Protein backbone atom coordinates (compact mmCIF):
# COMPACT_ATOMS: atom_id res chain seq x y z
CA UNK A 1 0.00 0.00 0.00
CA UNK A 2 2.81 2.38 0.83
CA UNK A 3 4.37 1.76 -2.54
CA UNK A 4 1.06 2.58 -4.10
CA UNK A 5 0.98 5.85 -2.19
CA UNK A 6 4.46 6.72 -3.34
CA UNK A 7 3.42 5.93 -6.86
CA UNK A 8 0.43 8.23 -6.53
CA UNK A 9 2.54 11.02 -5.08
CA UNK A 10 5.21 10.53 -7.70
CA UNK A 11 2.62 10.69 -10.44
CA UNK A 12 1.16 13.87 -9.00
CA UNK A 13 4.61 15.48 -9.00
CA UNK A 14 5.28 14.20 -12.49
CA UNK A 15 1.94 15.51 -13.70
CA UNK A 16 2.78 18.90 -12.23
CA UNK A 17 6.12 18.93 -14.03
CA UNK A 18 4.47 17.89 -17.27
CA UNK A 19 1.73 20.50 -16.99
CA UNK A 20 4.16 23.32 -16.34
CA UNK A 21 6.16 22.09 -19.32
CA UNK A 22 3.17 22.19 -21.63
CA UNK A 23 2.17 25.65 -20.53
CA UNK A 24 5.63 27.16 -20.85
CA UNK A 25 6.96 25.31 -23.88
CA UNK A 26 7.59 28.00 -26.43
CA UNK A 27 8.98 27.65 -29.91
CA UNK A 28 12.70 27.16 -29.48
CA UNK A 29 15.14 28.89 -31.73
CA UNK A 30 16.25 26.17 -34.04
CA UNK A 31 19.14 25.30 -36.25
CA UNK A 32 17.75 22.01 -37.50
CA UNK A 33 14.91 20.85 -39.69
CA UNK A 34 12.34 19.33 -37.40
CA UNK A 35 10.64 16.20 -38.76
CA UNK A 36 8.04 14.66 -36.48
CA UNK A 37 7.30 11.02 -37.27
CA UNK A 38 3.83 9.85 -36.30
CA UNK A 39 4.49 6.17 -35.73
CA UNK A 40 2.85 3.28 -33.97
CA UNK A 41 4.82 0.65 -32.20
CA UNK A 42 1.95 -0.31 -29.90
CA UNK A 43 -1.54 -1.67 -30.44
CA UNK A 44 -3.05 -4.08 -32.94
CA UNK A 45 -1.32 -2.49 -35.93
CA UNK A 46 2.15 -2.52 -34.40
CA UNK A 47 3.12 -5.56 -36.44
CA UNK A 48 3.03 -3.42 -39.56
CA UNK A 49 3.93 -0.17 -37.84
CA UNK A 50 7.25 -1.15 -36.26
CA UNK A 51 9.23 -1.97 -39.43
CA UNK A 52 7.94 1.20 -41.08
CA UNK A 53 8.81 3.33 -38.08
CA UNK A 54 12.28 1.78 -37.99
CA UNK A 55 12.82 2.37 -41.68
CA UNK A 56 11.73 6.00 -41.52
CA UNK A 57 13.82 6.69 -38.46
CA UNK A 58 16.95 4.87 -39.61
CA UNK A 59 17.33 6.56 -42.99
CA UNK A 60 17.05 10.05 -41.49
CA UNK A 61 19.37 9.06 -38.64
CA UNK A 62 21.83 7.74 -41.21
CA UNK A 63 21.81 11.08 -43.05
CA UNK A 64 22.54 12.79 -39.74
CA UNK A 65 25.38 10.44 -38.90
CA UNK A 66 26.93 10.19 -42.37
CA UNK A 67 26.39 13.63 -43.91
CA UNK A 68 25.54 15.72 -40.87
CA UNK A 69 21.96 16.07 -42.03
CA UNK A 70 20.80 17.64 -45.27
CA UNK A 71 22.58 20.61 -46.77
CA UNK A 72 24.72 20.85 -43.65
CA UNK A 73 21.74 21.13 -41.33
CA UNK A 74 20.80 18.32 -39.00
CA UNK A 75 17.40 16.73 -39.06
CA UNK A 76 15.71 16.72 -35.70
CA UNK A 77 13.70 13.50 -35.57
CA UNK A 78 10.97 13.02 -33.03
CA UNK A 79 8.64 10.08 -32.90
CA UNK A 80 5.15 10.41 -31.54
CA UNK A 81 3.16 7.30 -30.76
CA UNK A 82 -0.30 7.27 -32.34
CA UNK A 83 -1.31 3.64 -31.91
CA UNK A 84 -3.06 3.99 -35.33
CA UNK A 85 -5.71 5.90 -33.43
CA UNK A 86 -7.08 9.02 -35.10
CA UNK A 87 -7.60 10.90 -31.83
CA UNK A 88 -4.08 10.26 -30.65
CA UNK A 89 -2.79 11.11 -34.10
CA UNK A 90 -4.39 14.53 -33.93
CA UNK A 91 -3.00 14.95 -30.43
CA UNK A 92 0.50 14.18 -31.76
CA UNK A 93 -0.06 16.65 -34.56
CA UNK A 94 -1.09 19.42 -32.18
CA UNK A 95 1.79 18.63 -29.84
CA UNK A 96 4.45 18.81 -32.54
CA UNK A 97 3.25 21.42 -35.03
CA UNK A 98 4.28 24.31 -32.80
CA UNK A 99 7.91 23.20 -32.91
CA UNK A 100 8.28 24.08 -36.58
CA UNK A 101 7.39 20.77 -38.20
CA UNK A 102 8.21 20.71 -41.91
CA UNK A 103 6.12 17.71 -42.94
CA UNK A 104 3.78 15.09 -41.50
CA UNK A 105 3.58 11.37 -42.33
CA UNK A 106 0.51 10.07 -40.53
CA UNK A 107 0.79 6.44 -41.68
CA UNK A 108 -2.92 6.04 -41.24
CA UNK A 109 -5.67 6.91 -43.67
CA UNK A 110 -7.88 7.89 -40.74
CA UNK A 111 -5.34 10.39 -39.39
CA UNK A 112 -4.62 11.66 -42.91
CA UNK A 113 -8.30 12.45 -43.42
CA UNK A 114 -8.25 14.50 -40.23
CA UNK A 115 -5.11 16.39 -41.21
CA UNK A 116 -6.14 17.21 -44.80
CA UNK A 117 -8.21 20.29 -43.91
CA UNK A 118 -5.68 21.41 -41.29
CA UNK A 119 -2.64 21.24 -43.55
CA UNK A 120 -3.52 24.32 -45.57
CA UNK A 121 -4.44 26.31 -42.48
CA UNK A 122 -1.31 25.46 -40.49
CA UNK A 123 0.90 25.58 -43.61
CA UNK A 124 2.52 22.20 -43.05
CA UNK A 125 2.35 19.69 -45.91
CA UNK A 126 1.19 16.11 -45.40
CA UNK A 127 3.06 13.34 -47.15
CA UNK A 128 0.84 10.28 -47.31
CA UNK A 129 3.05 8.00 -49.35
CA UNK A 130 0.78 5.55 -51.15
CA UNK A 131 -2.16 5.89 -48.76
CA UNK A 132 -4.72 8.43 -47.60
CA UNK A 133 -7.30 10.16 -49.74
CA UNK A 134 -6.87 9.13 -53.39
CA UNK A 135 -8.42 12.39 -54.62
CA UNK A 136 -5.60 14.29 -52.91
CA UNK A 137 -3.54 13.56 -56.02
CA UNK A 138 -5.27 16.53 -57.62
CA UNK A 139 -2.75 19.17 -56.65
CA UNK A 140 -4.86 22.11 -57.66
CA UNK A 141 -7.50 21.17 -55.10
CA UNK A 142 -5.13 19.77 -52.47
CA UNK A 143 -1.93 21.82 -52.72
CA UNK A 144 -0.75 20.67 -49.27
CA UNK A 145 -1.25 16.93 -49.60
CA UNK A 146 1.15 14.61 -51.41
CA UNK A 147 0.48 10.94 -52.07
CA UNK A 148 3.38 10.12 -54.33
CA UNK A 149 4.12 7.60 -55.83
CA UNK A 150 0.58 6.19 -56.19
CA UNK A 151 -2.98 6.46 -54.98
CA UNK A 152 -5.03 3.47 -53.91
CA UNK A 153 -6.97 3.80 -57.13
CA UNK A 154 -3.76 3.41 -59.13
CA UNK A 155 -3.04 0.32 -57.07
CA UNK A 156 -6.50 -1.14 -57.61
CA UNK A 157 -6.22 -0.58 -61.36
CA UNK A 158 -2.84 -2.34 -61.41
CA UNK A 159 -4.31 -5.34 -59.62
CA UNK A 160 -7.08 -5.64 -62.21
CA UNK A 161 -4.61 -5.13 -65.02
CA UNK A 162 -2.37 -7.84 -63.59
CA UNK A 163 -5.29 -10.23 -63.23
CA UNK A 164 -6.20 -9.43 -66.82
CA UNK A 165 -2.67 -10.34 -67.90
CA UNK A 166 -2.92 -13.64 -66.08
CA UNK A 167 -6.16 -14.37 -67.88
CA UNK A 168 -4.73 -13.43 -71.24
CA UNK A 169 -6.32 -10.03 -71.64
CA UNK A 170 -8.69 -7.72 -69.85
CA UNK A 171 -11.57 -8.82 -72.09
CA UNK A 172 -11.33 -12.28 -70.56
CA UNK A 173 -12.37 -10.89 -67.20
CA UNK A 174 -15.99 -11.00 -68.33
CA UNK A 175 -18.02 -13.25 -66.06
CA UNK A 176 -15.16 -13.76 -63.63
CA UNK A 177 -15.64 -13.28 -59.92
CA UNK A 178 -13.11 -11.16 -58.05
CA UNK A 179 -13.34 -11.08 -54.28
CA UNK A 180 -12.26 -8.00 -52.37
CA UNK A 181 -11.42 -8.48 -48.70
CA UNK A 182 -10.70 -5.24 -46.90
CA UNK A 183 -10.27 -3.60 -43.54
CA UNK A 184 -13.62 -1.97 -42.90
CA UNK A 185 -12.28 1.54 -42.33
CA UNK A 186 -11.51 4.55 -44.46
CA UNK A 187 -8.44 2.76 -45.74
CA UNK A 188 -10.11 -0.38 -47.04
CA UNK A 189 -13.13 1.42 -48.45
CA UNK A 190 -11.07 3.92 -50.41
CA UNK A 191 -10.58 1.79 -53.59
CA UNK A 192 -14.17 0.50 -53.82
CA UNK A 193 -15.50 3.25 -56.15
CA UNK A 194 -12.76 2.46 -58.66
CA UNK A 195 -13.16 -1.30 -58.39
CA UNK A 196 -16.89 -0.92 -58.98
CA UNK A 197 -16.22 1.20 -62.03
CA UNK A 198 -13.80 -1.37 -63.41
CA UNK A 199 -16.22 -4.21 -62.67
CA UNK A 200 -18.81 -2.45 -64.77
CA UNK A 201 -16.37 -1.76 -67.57
CA UNK A 202 -14.83 -5.23 -67.83
CA UNK A 203 -17.85 -7.21 -66.79
CA UNK A 204 -16.47 -9.04 -63.80
CA UNK A 205 -18.37 -9.47 -60.58
CA UNK A 206 -16.99 -7.76 -57.49
CA UNK A 207 -17.65 -9.58 -54.20
CA UNK A 208 -16.94 -7.56 -51.08
CA UNK A 209 -15.83 -9.04 -47.77
CA UNK A 210 -15.45 -6.32 -45.12
CA UNK A 211 -13.40 -7.17 -42.03
CA UNK A 212 -14.24 -4.95 -39.04
CA UNK A 213 -11.16 -3.57 -37.31
CA UNK A 214 -12.14 -4.99 -33.94
CA UNK A 215 -12.45 -8.49 -35.34
CA UNK A 216 -9.60 -8.59 -37.81
CA UNK A 217 -8.03 -11.53 -36.04
CA UNK A 218 -11.13 -13.59 -36.51
CA UNK A 219 -11.94 -13.79 -40.20
CA UNK A 220 -13.41 -17.26 -40.32
CA UNK A 221 -16.87 -16.03 -41.33
CA UNK A 222 -15.51 -13.95 -44.21
CA UNK A 223 -13.44 -16.85 -45.50
CA UNK A 224 -16.36 -19.20 -45.11
CA UNK A 225 -18.19 -16.91 -47.50
CA UNK A 226 -15.19 -16.91 -49.80
CA UNK A 227 -15.33 -20.70 -49.87
CA UNK A 228 -19.01 -20.58 -50.69
CA UNK A 229 -18.73 -17.91 -53.39
CA UNK A 230 -15.60 -19.40 -55.00
CA UNK A 231 -14.17 -16.20 -56.48
CA UNK A 232 -11.56 -16.62 -59.21
CA UNK A 233 -9.25 -14.10 -57.59
CA UNK A 234 -8.98 -12.50 -54.19
CA UNK A 235 -7.73 -8.96 -53.69
CA UNK A 236 -6.82 -7.75 -50.22
CA UNK A 237 -6.58 -4.29 -48.67
CA UNK A 238 -5.41 -5.22 -45.19
CA UNK A 239 -3.21 -3.77 -42.49
CA UNK A 240 -1.78 -4.80 -39.16
CA UNK A 241 -2.93 -8.08 -37.74
CA UNK A 242 -5.49 -8.44 -40.54
CA UNK A 243 -2.86 -9.49 -43.11
CA UNK A 244 -1.32 -12.55 -41.46
CA UNK A 245 -4.78 -13.68 -40.37
CA UNK A 246 -6.14 -13.45 -43.89
CA UNK A 247 -3.17 -15.34 -45.34
CA UNK A 248 -3.59 -18.03 -42.72
CA UNK A 249 -7.31 -18.35 -43.39
CA UNK A 250 -6.73 -18.46 -47.14
CA UNK A 251 -4.28 -21.31 -46.65
CA UNK A 252 -6.78 -23.04 -44.40
CA UNK A 253 -9.58 -23.05 -46.97
CA UNK A 254 -7.02 -24.02 -49.64
CA UNK A 255 -7.60 -20.95 -51.72
CA UNK A 256 -5.09 -20.97 -54.62
CA UNK A 257 -2.45 -18.61 -53.25
CA UNK A 258 -1.18 -17.46 -56.63
CA UNK A 259 -4.63 -15.95 -57.19
CA UNK A 260 -4.53 -14.00 -53.93
CA UNK A 261 -3.12 -10.50 -54.37
CA UNK A 262 -2.56 -7.95 -51.64
CA UNK A 263 -2.06 -4.22 -51.92
CA UNK A 264 1.38 -2.81 -51.05
CA UNK A 265 0.37 -2.54 -47.40
CA UNK A 266 -0.36 -6.27 -47.28
CA UNK A 267 3.14 -7.03 -48.48
CA UNK A 268 4.95 -7.44 -45.17
CA UNK A 269 7.32 -10.35 -44.61
CA UNK A 270 5.57 -11.37 -41.43
CA UNK A 271 2.21 -11.17 -43.17
CA UNK A 272 3.12 -13.82 -45.71
CA UNK A 273 5.25 -15.89 -43.36
CA UNK A 274 2.23 -16.45 -41.12
CA UNK A 275 0.77 -18.81 -43.72
CA UNK A 276 3.77 -21.13 -43.43
CA UNK A 277 4.64 -23.37 -46.33
CA UNK A 278 1.12 -23.05 -47.73
CA UNK A 279 1.49 -19.33 -48.33
CA UNK A 280 3.90 -19.94 -51.17
CA UNK A 281 2.72 -18.05 -54.20
CA UNK A 282 0.93 -15.28 -52.30
CA UNK A 283 1.33 -12.07 -54.25
CA UNK A 284 1.37 -8.42 -53.34
CA UNK A 285 1.93 -5.10 -55.02
CA UNK A 286 5.03 -3.15 -54.15
CA UNK A 287 6.83 0.03 -55.13
CA UNK A 288 9.87 -0.08 -52.87
CA UNK A 289 12.89 -2.30 -53.32
CA UNK A 290 13.04 -5.96 -52.42
CA UNK A 291 16.00 -7.09 -50.33
CA UNK A 292 18.85 -5.26 -48.65
CA UNK A 293 21.31 -5.19 -51.51
CA UNK A 294 21.58 -1.40 -51.79
CA UNK A 295 24.52 0.83 -50.82
CA UNK A 296 22.27 3.17 -48.83
CA UNK A 297 20.99 0.28 -46.73
CA UNK A 298 24.59 -0.75 -46.07
CA UNK A 299 25.22 2.77 -44.83
CA UNK A 300 22.24 2.47 -42.51
CA UNK A 301 23.68 -0.74 -41.11
CA UNK A 302 27.08 0.81 -40.67
CA UNK A 303 26.18 4.23 -39.28
CA UNK A 304 22.97 3.58 -37.40
CA UNK A 305 22.33 -0.05 -36.53
CA UNK A 306 25.90 -1.06 -35.72
CA UNK A 307 26.30 2.20 -33.83
CA UNK A 308 23.39 1.16 -31.64
CA UNK A 309 21.24 4.14 -32.52
CA UNK A 310 18.25 2.18 -33.66
CA UNK A 311 15.81 -0.37 -32.35
CA UNK A 312 16.01 -2.33 -35.61
CA UNK A 313 17.44 -5.82 -35.59
CA UNK A 314 19.83 -6.35 -38.47
CA UNK A 315 17.76 -9.13 -40.10
CA UNK A 316 14.73 -6.95 -40.67
CA UNK A 317 16.67 -4.53 -42.87
CA UNK A 318 15.49 -5.23 -46.39
CA UNK A 319 12.06 -6.49 -45.42
CA UNK A 320 9.29 -4.97 -47.51
CA UNK A 321 7.85 -2.67 -44.89
CA UNK A 322 11.24 -1.56 -43.60
CA UNK A 323 12.21 -0.59 -47.14
CA UNK A 324 8.88 1.21 -47.46
CA UNK A 325 9.78 3.29 -44.41
CA UNK A 326 13.17 4.03 -45.93
CA UNK A 327 11.56 5.14 -49.19
CA UNK A 328 9.26 7.43 -47.21
CA UNK A 329 12.25 9.08 -45.59
CA UNK A 330 14.03 9.32 -48.94
CA UNK A 331 11.09 11.36 -50.22
CA UNK A 332 11.18 13.55 -47.09
CA UNK A 333 14.92 14.07 -47.42
CA UNK A 334 14.73 14.85 -51.13
CA UNK A 335 11.84 17.21 -50.46
CA UNK A 336 13.93 19.07 -47.90
CA UNK A 337 16.91 19.16 -50.24
CA UNK A 338 14.81 20.47 -53.12
CA UNK A 339 13.27 23.07 -50.84
CA UNK A 340 16.73 24.21 -49.72
CA UNK A 341 17.79 24.55 -53.35
CA UNK A 342 14.65 26.48 -54.29
CA UNK A 343 14.70 28.90 -51.39
CA UNK A 344 18.41 29.11 -50.63
CA UNK A 345 17.57 28.68 -46.95
CA UNK A 346 19.14 25.98 -44.79
CA UNK A 347 16.43 25.73 -42.19
CA UNK A 348 13.15 25.52 -44.03
CA UNK A 349 9.52 25.98 -43.05
CA UNK A 350 6.46 23.95 -43.91
CA UNK A 351 5.72 26.30 -46.79
CA UNK A 352 9.19 25.78 -48.25
CA UNK A 353 8.78 22.05 -47.82
CA UNK A 354 5.54 22.17 -49.79
CA UNK A 355 7.39 23.74 -52.71
CA UNK A 356 10.18 21.21 -52.33
CA UNK A 357 7.79 18.29 -52.49
CA UNK A 358 5.95 19.79 -55.41
CA UNK A 359 9.21 20.16 -57.33
CA UNK A 360 10.39 16.67 -56.34
CA UNK A 361 12.12 14.86 -59.15
CA UNK A 362 13.65 11.57 -58.10
CA UNK A 363 15.12 10.35 -61.39
CA UNK A 364 17.30 7.33 -62.05
CA UNK A 365 20.50 9.35 -61.78
CA UNK A 366 19.50 10.78 -58.43
CA UNK A 367 18.50 7.36 -57.09
CA UNK A 368 21.90 6.05 -58.13
CA UNK A 369 23.60 8.96 -56.38
CA UNK A 370 21.67 8.11 -53.22
CA UNK A 371 22.83 4.52 -53.43
CA UNK A 372 19.33 3.32 -54.18
CA UNK A 373 19.47 2.44 -57.84
CA UNK A 374 16.52 0.19 -58.61
CA UNK A 375 15.08 0.69 -55.15
CA UNK A 376 12.07 2.53 -56.51
CA UNK A 377 10.71 3.60 -59.86
CA UNK A 378 11.87 7.13 -60.70
CA UNK A 379 9.19 9.51 -59.53
CA UNK A 380 8.22 13.04 -60.27
CA UNK A 381 5.64 15.32 -58.73
CA UNK A 382 3.92 18.08 -60.65
CA UNK A 383 1.65 20.82 -59.41
CA UNK A 384 -1.34 19.16 -61.02
CA UNK A 385 -0.52 15.62 -60.03
CA UNK A 386 0.67 14.97 -56.49
CA UNK A 387 0.66 11.20 -56.88
CA UNK A 388 2.07 10.78 -60.34
CA UNK A 389 0.51 7.35 -60.92
CA UNK A 390 3.89 5.68 -61.07
CA UNK A 391 4.30 2.05 -62.09
CA UNK A 392 4.29 -0.64 -59.42
CA UNK A 393 5.32 -4.28 -59.57
CA UNK A 394 3.95 -7.53 -58.23
CA UNK A 395 6.05 -9.57 -55.85
CA UNK A 396 5.60 -13.18 -54.90
CA UNK A 397 6.32 -15.03 -51.66
CA UNK A 398 8.47 -18.07 -52.25
CA UNK A 399 7.99 -19.50 -48.77
CA UNK A 400 10.94 -17.66 -47.27
CA UNK A 401 11.21 -14.29 -48.86
CA UNK A 402 9.69 -11.99 -51.43
CA UNK A 403 10.89 -11.93 -55.00
CA UNK A 404 9.83 -9.70 -57.85
CA UNK A 405 7.29 -11.50 -60.02
CA UNK A 406 6.46 -8.95 -62.69
CA UNK A 407 7.83 -5.91 -64.46
CA UNK A 408 6.77 -2.44 -63.52
CA UNK A 409 3.09 -2.17 -64.41
CA UNK A 410 1.61 1.19 -65.32
CA UNK A 411 -1.71 2.04 -63.63
CA UNK A 412 -4.71 2.70 -65.87
CA UNK A 413 -4.19 6.43 -65.76
CA UNK A 414 -6.84 7.09 -68.40
CA UNK A 415 -9.53 5.67 -66.14
CA UNK A 416 -8.13 6.73 -62.78
CA UNK A 417 -7.33 10.36 -63.48
CA UNK A 418 -10.84 11.53 -64.47
CA UNK A 419 -12.22 9.74 -61.43
CA UNK A 420 -9.67 11.45 -59.20
CA UNK A 421 -10.63 14.83 -60.64
CA UNK A 422 -14.29 14.12 -60.05
CA UNK A 423 -13.64 12.94 -56.50
CA UNK A 424 -11.57 16.02 -55.72
CA UNK A 425 -14.30 18.29 -57.04
CA UNK A 426 -16.83 16.40 -54.96
CA UNK A 427 -14.68 16.70 -51.84
CA UNK A 428 -14.31 20.44 -52.35
CA UNK A 429 -18.04 20.79 -52.86
CA UNK A 430 -18.93 18.74 -49.78
CA UNK A 431 -16.53 20.72 -47.68
CA UNK A 432 -17.53 24.08 -49.11
CA UNK A 433 -16.18 26.66 -48.80
CA UNK A 434 -13.00 24.78 -49.68
CA UNK A 435 -10.15 27.26 -50.20
CA UNK A 436 -9.04 27.77 -53.79
CA UNK A 437 -5.40 27.21 -54.53
CA UNK A 438 -3.31 30.34 -54.05
CA UNK A 439 0.09 28.70 -53.61
CA UNK A 440 2.47 29.38 -56.50
CA UNK A 441 3.73 26.50 -58.58
CA UNK A 442 7.50 26.05 -58.25
CA UNK A 443 7.97 24.08 -61.46
Partner 1 sequence: MFYREAGQFKTSYKADQALLPILQDRIGLAVILLTAFVLIPVFANDFFLTSIMIPFLVFALAAIGLNVLTGFCGQLSLGTGAFMGVGAYAAYKLTSIFPDANVILMVLLSGVFSAAIGAVFGLPSLRIKGLYLAVTTLAAQFFLEWCFIRIPWLYNYNASGAIEIPRREVFGVIVSGAEATPIARYFVVLSITAGIAYLMANVLRGRIGRSWMMIRDMDIAAELMGIRPLQTKLMAFAVSSFICGVAGAMMVFFWLNAAEPSSYSIRLSFQILFMVILGGLGSLAGSFLGAAFIWILPVILKFVPGLMGIDMAAETVEHATFMIVGALIIFFLIVEPHGFARLWQIGKQKLRVWPFPY
- Nearest approach in angstroms of CB 1 to partner 1 is 8
**Could you give the angle at the alpha carbon of 59 between the alpha carbons of 390 and 115, nearest 5°?**
60
Q: Are 403 and 394 in contact (CB under 8 A)?
A: no
Q: Is 211 in the site for partner 1 (CB under 8 A)?
A: no
Q: Is 113 in the site for partner 1 (CB under 8 A)?
A: yes
Q: Is 15 in the site for partner 1 (CB under 8 A)?
A: yes
Q: Which of 30, 31, 68, 94 binds partner 1 (CB under 8 A)?
A: 94
Q: Is 189 in the site for partner 1 (CB under 8 A)?
A: yes
- Residues 423-442: x/- map of binding to partner 1 (CB under 8 A)? x------xxxx---------
- Nearest approach in angstroms of CB 49 to partner 1 is 9
Backbone Cα Rg of the chain: 22
- Nearest approach in angstroms of CB 50 to partner 1 is 9
Q: Is 11 in the site for partner 1 (CB under 8 A)?
A: yes
Number of residues that bind partner 1 (CB under 8 A): 56
- Nearest approach in angstroms of CB 309 to partner 1 is 11
Closest CA to 60 of 384, 303, 381, 361: 303
Q: Which is nearer to partner 1, 136 or 272 (CB)?
A: 136
Q: Is 361 in the site for partner 1 (CB under 8 A)?
A: no
- Nearest approach in angstroms of CB 312 to partner 1 is 12
Per CB under 8 A, contacts with partner 1 among 313-342 are: none
Alpha-carbon gap, residue 292 to 298, rounded angstroms: 8
Q: Which is nearer to partner 1, 208 or 366 (CB)?
A: 208
- Nearest approach in angstroms of CB 75 to partner 1 is 16
Closest CA to 264 of 377, 136, 419: 377
Q: Which of 67, 184, 232, 439 binds partner 1 (CB under 8 A)?
A: 184
Q: Which residues bind partner 1 (CB under 8 A)?
A: 1, 4-5, 7-8, 11, 14-15, 17-19, 21-23, 25, 39, 41-42, 78-81, 83, 86-87, 90-91, 94-95, 98, 109-110, 113-114, 117-118, 120-121, 133, 184-186, 189-190, 192-193, 210, 212-214, 311, 423, 430-433
Amino acid sequence: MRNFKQLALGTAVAAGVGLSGILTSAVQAQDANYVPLLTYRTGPYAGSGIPIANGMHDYLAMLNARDGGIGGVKIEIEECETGYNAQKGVECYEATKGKGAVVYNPYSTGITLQLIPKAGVDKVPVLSMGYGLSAAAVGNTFPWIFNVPDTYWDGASVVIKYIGEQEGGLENLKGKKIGYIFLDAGYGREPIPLLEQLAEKYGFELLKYPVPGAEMQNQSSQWLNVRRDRPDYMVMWGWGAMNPTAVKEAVKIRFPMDKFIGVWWSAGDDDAAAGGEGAKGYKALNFSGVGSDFPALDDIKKHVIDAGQSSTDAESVGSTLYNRGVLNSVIIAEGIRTAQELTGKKVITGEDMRMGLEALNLDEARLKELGLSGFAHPMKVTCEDHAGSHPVFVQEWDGKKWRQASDWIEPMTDIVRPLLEAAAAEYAEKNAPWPARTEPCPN
